[in-house]
A and B are shown apart, each in its own frame.
Chain A
Amino acid sequence: MRTIAEYNPFAVTVYFLAVAGTTMFSMNPVILVLSLAGALSYFFVRNGFREMKSHLAFFLMFLFMALLNPLISHNGVTVLFVMNNNPVTLEALVYGIAAAAMILAVLYWFRSYSQIMTSDKLLYVFGVLSPRLALILSMAIRYVPLFGSQVKKVNQAQKALGLYKEDNLVDSFRGGVRVFSVMVTWALENGIITADSMTARGYGSGKRSHYSTFCFRRGDWILMGISCVLLIVTWIGLGDFTFNYYPALKVSALQKTGLIGCISYGLLAFLPVIIEEKETLKWNCLQSKI
């Protein structure tokens, strides 16, 4: 009874690497369309149709990238029209659209991924690899906002002392430099307290272990298994289903293996949506029984 966000972060990471990685290394339009559709639908299932402005920005970026390529690249045999003595070709336009779609799909996958992977989950993933690295990251994650808020406090304190003159750019720049230099002292000074607190609790007295609030359940293994299997099937299947953009658009004949590859990638791309919807259905079903 869990959505993909509640799966073990390691399994989630494996899934996202599989789906986004395939997109990144493939320019196959079928894959790109599936990936983009999967990424968008998952994002909307998670977030609903809110904050459409951010989507508009992404769409504009998509258009920009799609149209930029034919203006820069003049490869290809089908000339659509000539602009400033430069041919604008169909192939370059299609390639631009494909590349933009690829970037957009990857961006949307990672938008969902960053929503799911809060800092503690990220640390867990790193902690599996190296406990020491996880600790350093954890400290860094804590320190950056602490540093930021202290800079803000110092700025306000100095402003109330009348030591800043807002109307003068040079003055405020010099003020900024002074604040930065004192912040270095501050960080070192208080770093000593943190270091004391660490040694007092036995840091460095032996081999560290790593504790986390996550554990592997059966479903996590299944998710990882499915992701890996679908990934392998996709790559084998797509081996002989190629698509060439230059010099002319050329698709190899779609064979059985190619079809299987496409289907398996489609499943992979829509896996989160399927899981999410399955849970909703299951929940509704249970509720109607209650």
Chain B
Amino acid sequence: MELLTIENLSFTYPLCSTPAVTDVSFSVKKGEFVSICGATGSGKSTLLRLLKRELAPLGERSGQVYLDGTSQEALSADQAARSIGFVMQRPEHQLVTDKVWHELAFGLENMGTPQSVIARRIAEMASYFGIEDWFEKNVTELSGGQKQLLNLAAVMIMNPKILILDEPTAQLDPIAASDFIATLRKLNRELSLTILIVEHRLEEVIPISDRLLVMEKGRLLAYDEPRAVIEGLKEKPELLCAMPAAARLYHAVQGTGECPLDISEGRAYIQANFGNQIRRLPDKVDGSGKPGAVGIVTESGKPGAVGIVAESGKSGAVGSAAESEKSGAAGSAVGIAAESGRTKTGENAIQTGRIGRAAKSDKTALELENVYFRYGKHLPDVLHGLNLKVYENEIFCLLGGNGSGKSTTLSASAGLLKPYSGKVRVFGKRLKEYKNQSLYRECLTMLPQDVQTVFLKNTVREELEEAKAEVSMLPFDITCLYEKHPYDLSGGEQQLVALAKVLATKPKLLLLDEPTKGLDAHAKLGFIRIMKELKAKGMTIVAVTHDVEFAALCADRCALFFRGNVVSDGVPADFFSENHFYTTSAYRMAGDYYDRAVTIEEVAALCRLNRKEAIQPGWKGMSSAAGKHGAEKMAEAGKMTEAGKTEEAGKMAEEEKTTGATERTGGSR
């Protein structure tokens, strides 16, 4: 049964020549979970708003929207408000009242519902959403995740037929975001609620979606089951980069057969289609020209055997040799050590970390020594004897849960908060010695979490002129945004303008607080590229982030923050391969199959290296255990690898080299 039908919907904003939404028609059945994706400015939000009469923007529109067979215009005010629930991006600004219970009651109060009915509905909602514990609280005391959950509950209390969400998790940390999405899934499955959601975090949304709608330049590009849609996205890298890790891997290895969508499917897919004779990519030679330890680790190799290329490692060896030549380390001893991949200990990892670091710089850019900080006399320590060193010209990512003190560390480093004990040194000088704001001139600067706080003017141009920014020197182009108001920009654009303003002080040390919050996948990739270019210009970057994928792609070193202190650090490959929970999707898929492969590109490279191994009979057991990918699929995959074998083998070394190089040494070019 069609609950929502959209017929030839077009919409043009006033004073715009091109329509924001062009001739969109689709229908949603009752109980369906529909995800909507598309690049920034592709008309997703406009489309969603057109579906909710109260929020429809002003402009020229044509076409029809039917809700349960009734035209949108024919609904009464009461019905229109009740039947479609709408949750937006910024959690705190959607809240209307000061108390949690009042927020829940708000919608029903507007309907003039009697008190006894409100009381019953509130009780029901509070129990269902687990709000009882903070029912009496002020909304300002809630965390971002709780606020957004409250927004959802406050909408659900009106018992809507359709729930529409516009990037609801963009401002949340990953854990709160997956809780939120899990709640949506629960609502969809248990109450067969129809859900339309626009999301950046497709990793978690797509596996639970019944349908995926793709928008491009205001037009509907595809509307079908997620697998079918993703398979059709081969030619659209800018859309593909937002897809779940498993799907990206599938495309990166030019996969055939059914596209995997979530981690467990991705894992099964790798194990069904690729061997793991080569467990590890050859280490990169360090960008500074000094040779690092280049080693190929194979599972079959024996510890201590030096100079042995294991039987399956042939192509890998070619790859590494090619690479060491390229990076100009000719003549340097390239030791190919084969050791058991499983004996790599934490000590080893730290060793590797030191090698990577020593090759760059021994000078510290930022050093915190035994730093203690608390927000109030009677409050607990937020930073508890923190010791941290960031070396010059590296990208350092500080990861950790909410409230572990990451942002506090950043503020303390920037001199915005004063620790009650301990020393903070920036480029070897204590913060106190930077007199008269000299710290903030050509030395250190910070990009805050909420980039809106950076803007003071009415247009981007004024903003940049005020800060005396040299736009031509920037590694990105924002001239097209000049006449816009900073608040009107998309999350990614705001980030870039704020970055331009921040860089105007010509800092040597750049502090970033959650730089990828609210960015879509494409913008995030762009941001990573910019970070690497800034590093190449000699800048040191410290980023506090929840985003493990960002850290894996971007960082030279990562550290895990817990209860006011750093508990582990290392280069991303070691750092993420030692973690089991706090790690990237790629490592979750391939973790116990390949070693030190923490990004999709690395896993894809390993898959390609292992592809020529035809599927052996013994593998069948494993693949059937994988569930969905049955024998039929196995055979198909087998054919594919067989066919691609000869040409693949030739390409392999080259491919591996390029992906590897852009991946990890890209920044030091």
With an 8 A cutoff between CB atoms, is A54 at the interface? no
Partner of B414, one of A135, A160, A210: A160
Give the docked Cα–Cα distance between A139 and B140 (Å): 12
Interchain CB contact under 8 A, A199 and B92 = no
How many residue-residue contacts, CB under 8 A, span A and B?
A: 184
With an 8 A cutoff between CB atoms, is B111 at the interface? yes
Give the docked Cα–Cα distance between A152 and B55 (Å): 32
CB contacts (< 8 Å) of A280 on chain B: these are none
Chain A, range 141-160, C-beta contacts under 8 Å to B: 141-142, 145-146, 150, 153-154, 156-160
Interchain CB contact under 8 A, A142 and B97 = yes
Interchain CB contact under 8 A, A206 and B441 = no
Give the contact-size bracket for chain B: 35 or more
Residue of chain A at shortest CB distance from B81: A202
With an 8 A cutoff between CB atoms, is B454 at the interface? yes
Give the docked Cα–Cα distance between A271 and B80 (Å): 52
CB contacts (< 8 Å) of B467 on chain A: these are 161, 163
CB contacts (< 8 Å) of B108 on chain A: these are 209, 211
CB contacts (< 8 Å) of B107 on chain A: these are 201-202
Interchain CB contact under 8 A, B97 and A162 = no
CB contacts (< 8 Å) of B54 on chain A: these are 196, 199-200, 202
Give the docked Cα–Cα distance between A160 and B503 (Å): 12
Residue of chain A at shortest CB distance from B457: A182
CB contacts (< 8 Å) of B450 on chain A: these are 153, 157
Give the docked Cα–Cα distance between A186 and B55 (Å): 20
With an 8 A cutoff between CB atoms, is B64 at the interface? no
With an 8 A cutoff between CB atoms, is A288 at the interface? no
Partner of B158, one of A138, A202, A212: A202
Give the contact-size bracket for chain A: 35 or more
Chain A, range 198-234, C-beta contacts under 8 Å to B: 198-213
Give the docked Cα–Cα distance between A161 and B498 (Å): 10
With an 8 A cutoff between CB atoms, is A193 at the interface? yes
CB contacts (< 8 Å) of B416 on chain A: these are 156, 159-160
Contacts A131-B109, A156-B411, A209-B114 given; does A142 touch B140 at CB 8 Å: yes
Interchain CB contact under 8 A, A200 and B140 = no
Contacts A139-B97, A196-B55 given; does A207 touch B155 at CB 8 Å: no
Partner of A190, one of B90, B101, B139, B457: B90
Interchain CB contact under 8 A, B452 and A186 = yes
The minimal Cβ–Cβ distance linking A269 to chain B, given in whole angstroms, is 31
With an 8 A cutoff between CB atoms, is B35 at the interface? no
Give the docked Cα–Cα distance between A280 and B244 (Å): 62
Give the docked Cα–Cα distance between A69 and B139 (Å): 47
| Majority SS at the chain A contact face | helix
With an 8 A cutoff between CB atoms, is B487 at the interface? yes
With an 8 A cutoff between CB atoms, is B182 at the interface? no
Give the docked Cα–Cα distance between A210 and B441 (Å): 55
With an 8 A cutoff between CB atoms, is A194 at the interface? yes
With an 8 A cutoff between CB atoms, is A119 at the interface? yes
Give the docked Cα–Cα distance between A181 and B614 (Å): 68
With an 8 A cutoff between CB atoms, is A289 at the interface? no
Partner of A201, one of B110, B113, B139, B456: B110
With an 8 A cutoff between CB atoms, is B96 at the interface? yes
Interchain CB contact under 8 A, A161 and B112 = no
Encoded as 1 (CB less than 8 Å from any B CB) or 0, chain A from 95 to 126 comes to 00000000000000000000000011001000
Give the docked Cα–Cα distance between A171 and B82 (Å): 52
With an 8 A cutoff between CB atoms, is B436 at the interface? yes
Interchain CB contact under 8 A, B453 and A201 = no
CB contacts (< 8 Å) of A203 on chain B: these are 106, 110
CB contacts (< 8 Å) of B511 on chain A: these are 160
Interchain CB contact under 8 A, B448 and A138 = no
Mark the stretch among B115-123, B197-205, B266-274, B604-612 that contacts chain A. Answer: B115-123
Give the docked Cα–Cα distance between A82 and B154 (Å): 71
Contacts A201-B158, A203-B110 given; does A193 touch B437 at CB 8 Å: no
With an 8 A cutoff between CB atoms, is B105 at the interface? yes
Partner of B96, one of A139, A157, A208: A139
The minimal Cβ–Cβ distance linking A225 to chain B, given in whole angstroms, is 24
Most buried by A among B90, B102, B140, B502: B102
Give the docked Cα–Cα distance between A132 and B93 (Å): 20
Give the docked Cα–Cα distance between A190 and B158 (Å): 24
CB contacts (< 8 Å) of A179 on chain B: these are 456
With an 8 A cutoff between CB atoms, is A185 at the interface? yes
Partner of A206, one of B78, B90, B93, B95: B78
CB contacts (< 8 Å) of A186 on chain B: these are 452, 487
Give the docked Cα–Cα distance between A161 and B416 (Å): 11
Give the docked Cα–Cα distance between A190 and B561 (Å): 33
The minimal Cβ–Cβ distance linking B458 to chain A, given in whole angstroms, is 8
Give the docked Cα–Cα distance between A112 and B382 (Å): 34
CB contacts (< 8 Å) of B81 on chain A: these are 199-202, 205
CB contacts (< 8 Å) of B452 on chain A: these are 186
Interchain CB contact under 8 A, A213 and B101 = yes
Interchain CB contact under 8 A, B140 and A146 = yes
Interchain CB contact under 8 A, A161 and B90 = no
With an 8 A cutoff between CB atoms, is A245 at the interface? no
Interchain CB contact under 8 A, B110 and A205 = yes
Partner of B52, one of A119, A200, A213: A200
Interchain CB contact under 8 A, B502 and A161 = yes
Partner of B112, one of A120, A139, A200, A209: A209
With an 8 A cutoff between CB atoms, is A284 at the interface? no
Residue of chain B at shortest CB distance from A163: B467
Contacts A139-B97, A194-B93, A211-B105 given; does A158 touch B112 at CB 8 Å: no
Interchain CB contact under 8 A, B99 and A209 = no
With an 8 A cutoff between CB atoms, is B501 at the interface? yes
Contacts A153-B448, A164-B437, A200-B55 given; does A193 touch B90 at CB 8 Å: yes
CB contacts (< 8 Å) of B636 on chain A: these are none
Residue of chain A at shortest CB distance from B89: A193
- Can you offer 26 A-B residue contacts whose CB atoms are under 8 A? A123-B98, A138-B99, A139-B97, A154-B456, A157-B450, A159-B440, A160-B445, A160-B448, A161-B440, A161-B505, A162-B441, A182-B455, A194-B95, A194-B96, A196-B55, A197-B94, A198-B106, A199-B81, A200-B81, A202-B81, A203-B106, A203-B110, A209-B115, A210-B109, A211-B118, A213-B101
Known: A197-B86, A197-B95. 4 other contacts (CB 8 A): A123-B98, A142-B138, A157-B446, A160-B448
Please list the 6 inter-chain residue pairs (A to B) with the smallest Cβ-Cβ separation, ordered nearest first: A162-B440, A202-B81, A142-B98, A211-B105, A201-B107, A160-B446
Residues of B whose CB lies within 8 Å of any CB of A are 52, 54-55, 77-78, 80-82, 85-86, 88, 90, 92-99, 101-102, 105-115, 118-119, 122, 136, 138-140, 151, 154-155, 158, 411, 414, 416, 436-437, 439-441, 444-446, 448, 450, 452-458, 467, 487, 501-502, 505, 511
Residues of A whose CB lies within 8 Å of any CB of B are 119-120, 123, 131, 135, 138-139, 141-142, 145-146, 150, 153-154, 156-167, 178-179, 181-182, 185-186, 189-190, 193-194, 196-213
